[in-house]
Amino acid sequence: MFKNNLLNSKIYMVIIMNLSKSRYTLGIRCLKLLWLSLYKPDEVTDSLNENVLKNGNEVGELARGLFGDYKLIDFDLGFESMIEETKKSIGLYSVICEASFNYEGNFASVDILRCLDDGVEIYEVKSSTNIIDLYIDDISYQTWVLKKCGLNVINSYIVYVNNNYVFDGKLDIDKYFVIKRVNELIDLDKVDKNIKLFKKTINSDVEPSCNLNISCHDPYDCNYFDYCIKELPKPCVFDVGWRLSFNKKLKLYNDGIISYNDLINCGGLNDKQRRQVEFYLYDKKPYINKEVIINFMSSLKYPLYFLDFESYQCVIPNIKGTSPYQQICFQYSLHYYLEEDGKLYHKEYLSDNYLGDPMRGLCEQLCKDIPFNSCVLVYNDSFEKTRLKEMASLYLDLSSHLLNIRDNIIDLMPIFSNHDYYVKDMGGSFSIKYVLPSLFPDDESLNYHNLEQVHKGTEATEAYLLLKDLCKDEELKLRKNMLKYCELDTYAMVKIFDKLKDIK
């Protein structure tokens, strides 16, 4: 193992750490994004999903065991103490997690550092299932810092999740992770230039002037995008829906086609996109394709069921037969009519198997609640159909019934996604969260904002993952509000269905 004398002690002098690997990658995406994150943090439109952060932490902690015993540098120590603790640990431990270094105000904390006889290896752990360019920039920055600190970096690796891994009852982290050597993709001269530019940016009190570009959307949606377009007319080209790609919106924007008045004359929109713009500008009445809707309604039969699942993604699978990021269903709501113009009934299920498999009980109850060969309405059938297929492969004794439910699903969404029913207030979206208030603007019973605790799917997911940690009273309250949310999802479909039924 290499010794401490390879480390230049002056490297560990306390310097203002004004750049880190997270800030470096922000600069790679956009100089303005980097500057805004430091000087205008309150302008953020949407913060990172808590479940995404949780998944990242879980994967990072799991990866620490890839190479056996390790020394963990506690992040709570603070930068200076982390650096000092790392200095003491090199030469004593073969594997150091969160090993921390600083070179002239450039701080880097390495997920996994392997110390070998002739140098070190860097492992950057990602909770994603593939490698993107930004990850290469991330590990390039770390490699640059460690080399500047006098360490001989032999290899640099990206560690990511193998989405083909299937949990067989015992977690095998060697199969769960993919380890990719990326030495040949690292350009240290590029890092050196970037660091100088980024430091100049963050040490300036002048907000950078940056044009909108693809990095506003790729690889992630920028949470300062609304801030950057605040001076544009409302609505504008970036508000057009109906699958107008961000690249196409950028091209129109760069060509000076920005407002809806610009768009109406540009000739670059398809029929649906043009209809959205025209309906807004001219305040048109609803567009209803009666023939398509009447034919759709006549294809339905009774008993008629309205189904909606809630689920969470488990990044580290703990249910036999499942894979990383597979959706795990824990709840459903079911409204149904036994006969045309009959009474509306409702059933629901919310698993209390918080630490085990919530899907088994859900599937058993679902097979009791939906008889064979029943017509089942959903909103966006790809989700429910995929979940039913996955669960049928897990529970073979229920497979035929689950697949029968799947085969009898009819999707309500195409009426709106195909533009056979369009109202101005849908604003180019066919999400049920937009369709519902557009069709029933004055019905407060259909307003998701009036719900308590849970108002959207991501909140339902986060709520379910919290239930196991709550006291009984809090658990019961949250469960009640989760049930109300999911019930509104299927009741929304019922109301839309009833609205379509009135079209003659």
- The answer on 295 and 253 residing in a single domain is no
In a domain, 224, yes or no: no
In a domain, 302, yes or no: yes
What CATH number corresponds to the domain at position 191?
Answer: 3.90.320
What CATH number corresponds to the domain at position 412?
Answer: 3.30.420
In a domain, 189, yes or no: yes
* Segment 448-464, tens digit of pLDDT: 999 999 999 999 999 99
Q: Which residue has the tokens 């209809």?
A: 275
Number of domains in the chain: 3
- The answer on 340 and 253 residing in a single domain is no
* Segment 408-466, tens digit of pLDDT: 999 999 999 999 999 999 999 999 999 999 999 999 999 999 999 999 999 999 999 99
pLDDT at position 45: 86
**Residue bearing the bigger pLDDT, 13 or 389:** 389
Task: Report the distance separating Cα 197 and Cα 213, nearest Å.
Answer: 19
In a domain, 223, yes or no: no
In a domain, 213, yes or no: no
In a domain, 504, yes or no: yes
Please enumerate in sequence order all residues whose Cβ is within 8 A of that of 229, keeping only pairs 6 or more positions apart, or say none.
Answer: 212, 236, 238
pLDDT at 1 over 60: no
In a domain, 221, yes or no: no
> Which residue range is the domain that position 275 belongs to?
232-282
pTM of the model: 0.91
HEC string for 244-291: CCHHHHHHHHHCCCCEHHHHHCCCCCCHHHHHHHHHHHHCCCCEECHH
Task: Report the distance separating Cα 107 and Cα 265, nearest Å.
Answer: 52
pLDDT at 2 over 50: no
CB 66, CB 177: distance < 8 Å: yes
Q: What is the largest CA-CA distance in the chain?
A: 86
- The answer on 247 and 196 residing in a single domain is no
pLDDT at 136 over 50: yes
- The answer on 326 and 458 residing in a single domain is yes
In a domain, 222, yes or no: no
Per-residue pLDDT, averaged over 207-212, amounts to 94
- The answer on 292 and 277 residing in a single domain is no
* Segment 250-270, tens digit of pLDDT: 999 999 999 999 999 888 799
- The answer on 185 and 278 residing in a single domain is no
Per-residue pLDDT, averaged over 320-345, amounts to 97
- The answer on 313 and 389 residing in a single domain is yes
**Residue bearing the bigger pLDDT, 6 or 314:** 314
Instruction: Write the single-letter amino acid at 345.
Output: Y
In this structure, what token pair is assigned to residue 252?
């129109």
Task: Report the distance separating Cα 373 and Cα 365, nearest Å.
Answer: 16
Lowest mean pLDDT among 9-13, 145-149, 308-312, 370-374: 9-13
- The answer on 237 and 156 residing in a single domain is no
Q: In which band, very low, low, confident or very high, does the pLDDT at 55 lie, cut at 50, 70 and 90?
A: confident
pLDDT at position 291: 97
Which residues on neighbouring strands pair with residue 376, listed in sequence order? 305, 409
pLDDT at position 49: 66
pLDDT at 504 over 90: no
- The answer on 133 and 118 residing in a single domain is yes
